[in-house]
Structure 1
Amino acid sequence: MKSLRIGLVDLDTSHPGSFVPLIRGLGHEVTGVFDSGTVYPPGYAETFAREHQIEHACESLEELVGRVDAVFIHSCNWDLHVHHAQPFVDAGKAVFIDKPMTGNVGDLQKMIGWAKQGAVITGGSALRYCNEVREWKERKIAAEEWVYGLVGCAVDEFNYGVHAYTMLHGLLGPGIESVRYLGENVQRQIELTWKDGRQGTVSIGKTAGYLPFYATLVTQKQVDYISVDNSRLYQALLETVLPYLAGEAPAPLPFEELAEAEMAAIAAKLSVERGGKPVRLNEIPSDYAGYDGKAFSKQYKALIFPSEK
């Protein structure tokens, strides 16, 4: 496999540090980092680069563009993702956008447009590619065998909740037509309906303790329960996406289909605001604000630096 020079944009979360050794283990190198300062103070990029033996801590996106073949964008403020990806797309570099890829339809449409124009772009939650999802899908359950599914996780309704949407989407495949808010008891329950009539629910939001990523899947002949092994998530993700980013494999999923998980979450928020009325994905207004990335990043920073609240 072609060895990529990989850059990291924004070091807000645990993902950049976790990805570095796995990227190297798969035969690639991390050659530069850039941090825009959303969470960490000035100078953090230099500290991160030194701790992870990365040669260049860049002062701008443009500087990083010249040092890489591909980039992973990890900004916890998902409203920055399009802005941060643009220079790399313009330069013909491969782009991975971490979850949530964005919280509004306009930015998703921008990314879909890039992909249609030939950009090498992918991203999203690792739950789509986890071993447990792949193994269940290998059984090739026919649509007419389907009864119902439930997928859930804890923490919050979008930054983490998108994992549940993605896992359900990974298990059932593309083709989500509409989303409906069912109500809530501790967590929020959202029903997704596919174009072929299959349905499943995600249960998302804060709980008193951490919950694993889980699924209960009911077919006409069997009930399966899946609990995801988090220790294998990133490896499975990188093994799937890096060949595509290197130009040696097709896209794991067409970007328009990949974006359905975020679109479903955005539709769910709109359904809540409309009192539980179903919302079709193709009818979400393009100017609908969706989830506020800047507001989330402030909350995220306050968790890391509570003294600065």
Structure 2
Amino acid sequence: MSRFVFAVALSFMTIGFMGTNILLADEQNSPVFRLGMVGLDTSHVIRFTEWLHDPQNASGCRVVAGFPGGSPDIESSISRVEGYTNELREKHGVEIVANVEELCSKVDGVLITSVDGRPHLEYAKIVFAARKPVFIDKPMAASLPDVIEIFRLAKEGGIPCWSSSSFRYSKNMLEATSGKIGTILGGITYGPCHREPHHPDLYWYGIHTAEALYTLMGPGCVSVTRTYSDGTDVIVGTWKDGRLGIFRGGSSPAPGQSLKAGFIAFGSEDVYHGQPDNYDGLLREIVKFFQTGRPPIAPAETIELFAFMSAADESKAKGGASVELRPLIEQASAAK
């Protein structure tokens, strides 16, 4: 691990964000914690808003502003942004604003929800300058250097910041990692791995399956090998303690079939097979984050997760050769 990455992790984990002038949910006078969404081109903005506004969830948060964004060169972004923007405005009373700076002036915290990871660093810079805590939806960025730079800037400004897939907080995953099956000796995660040409192979959708693997195994992967055939990826990570974690991603289901997601956790006392459920667990963590200002995942783990996915691409380019993660992190840290 590079000295910068270690320093970022240590800072986030040990000192938190006490002493900053960031207004957290339990410190403000407003009856609700006002949230803004940046990038309204994903169904997540509707699902998240519905959950946050549901009185049964008692989130204490309300989405009050949104910046549409949208990426003209990604069809799944530009074809959806208008519809989701209209639904947020008309059904949920969200004010639509012209830019991220205006959004930050109206809210206490920010969700960067753009489906395209490329603009996330630039969005984050504006949010950090406004001193707003921020959750960044997947993918955190479209490159490993951008992920590292986001965390560096967050540390520099003392701004709470994190990112996660909902798979990490699914009920089955929480149960499997609760100690119920003993120590995790290894794991297999599987799921869709659709690609998008402006992102590394696994960043776009395979990130769910990769994050599930890291949730089971924890950080500490040292090298990756990738075997690829048309429509299927098998990636094997070797952890520093000798454990093996296996990622299986599919992009071409058989006719009439859909690609399922799930995991197998091999514990010292039992084996657990589970599947993801919904966004509830992730949203509870997001609310807790805005209440406390403390990210639930160390930056070093998220950085390593993206290095794992980048190493898989490099292994594919090298015909399945083993690729170490540490050199990739060091190179990416020096790139900005």
TM-score (norm 1): 0.83
The percent identity for this pair of structures is 29
Give the conservation status (yes or no) of the 8 Å contact 2:237–2:245: yes
Q: Which residue of 1 aligns with 2:65?
A: 32
Q: Which residue of 1 aligns with 2:276?
A: 228
Count of matched residue positions in the alignment of Structure 1 and Structure 2: 283
| Alpha-carbon distance in 1 for matches of 2:321, 2:222 | 14
Give the conservation status (yes or no) of the 8 Å contact 1:99–1:125: yes
Residue 263 in structure 1 maps to residue 307 in structure 2: yes
Shift of 1:115: 3.6
Give the conservation status (yes or no) of the 8 Å contact 1:20–1:52: no
Q: Which residue of 2 aligns with 1:93?
A: 132
Q: Once superposed, what is the RMSD of the aligned Cα atoms? A: 2.4
| Alpha-carbon distance in 1 for matches of 2:275, 2:83 | 35
Give the conservation status (yes or no) of the 8 Å contact 2:187–2:263: yes
Give the conservation status (yes or no) of the 8 Å contact 1:155–1:210: no
Alignment of 1:58-137 (within 5 A): 58-117=97-156, 118-137=158-177
1:184-217 CA-to-partner distances (Å, cap 9, x unmatched) read 3641100112222211110113132322321122
Where does the alignment leave 5 or more consecutive residues of structure 1 unmatched?
290-309
| Alpha-carbon distance in 1 for matches of 2:310, 2:180 | 29
Shift of 1:13: 1.2
Q: Could you list the runs of 4 or more consecutive aligned residues of structure 1 that deviate by over 6 angstroms after TM superposition? A: none
Residue 171 in structure 1 maps to residue 216 in structure 2: yes
One-letter amino acid of the counterpart of residue 73, structure 1: I
Deviates more, 1:210-219 or 1:118-127: 210-219
| Alpha-carbon distance in 2 for matches of 1:79, 1:288 | 19
Change over 3 Å in CA distance of 1:101–1:222 after alignment to 2: same
The partner residue of 2:332 within 280, 286, 301 is 286
Q: Which residue of 2 aligns with 1:53?
A: 92
Give the conservation status (yes or no) of the 8 Å contact 2:160–2:293: no
| Alpha-carbon distance in 1 for matches of 2:85, 2:166 | 27
| Alpha-carbon distance in 2 for matches of 1:46, 1:228 | 27
Give the conservation status (yes or no) of the 8 Å contact 2:176–2:265: no
| Alpha-carbon distance in 2 for matches of 1:76, 1:239 | 21
Residue 52 of structure 1 aligns to a residue whose secondary structure is: helix
Give the conservation status (yes or no) of the 8 Å contact 2:104–2:130: yes
| Alpha-carbon distance in 1 for matches of 2:167, 2:323 | 24
Residue 92 of structure 1 aligns to a residue whose secondary structure is: coil
Change over 3 Å in CA distance of 1:19–1:210 after alignment to 2: same
Give the conservation status (yes or no) of the 8 Å contact 1:178–1:278: yes
Q: Which residue of 2 aligns with 1:295?
A: none
Shift of 1:228: 2.2
Q: Which residue of 2 aligns with 1:23?
A: 52
1:119-165 CA-to-partner distances (Å, cap 9, x unmatched) read 1101121111221111111116665x61x321000241522111010
Shift of 1:45: 7.1
Give the conservation status (yes or no) of the 8 Å contact 1:103–1:262: no
One-letter amino acid of the counterpart of residue 264, structure 1: F
Give the conservation status (yes or no) of the 8 Å contact 1:192–1:201: yes
Q: Which residue of 2 aligns with 1:6?
A: 35
Give the conservation status (yes or no) of the 8 Å contact 1:102–1:262: no
Q: Which residue of 1 aligns with 2:243?
A: 198
Residue 181 in structure 1 maps to residue 226 in structure 2: yes
Change over 3 Å in CA distance of 1:33–1:81 after alignment to 2: same
Q: Which residue of 1 aligns with 2:189?
A: 151
One-letter amino acid of the counterpart of residue 155, structure 2: K
1:71-90 CA-to-partner distances (Å, cap 9, x unmatched) read 11111221111011111111
Residue 279 of structure 2 aligns to a residue whose secondary structure is: helix
Where does the alignment leave 5 or more consecutive residues of structure 2 unmatched?
1-24, 27-31, 72-76, 195-200
TM-score (norm 2): 0.77
Residue 259 of structure 1 aligns to a residue whose secondary structure is: helix
Deviates more, 1:33-42 or 1:276-285: 33-42
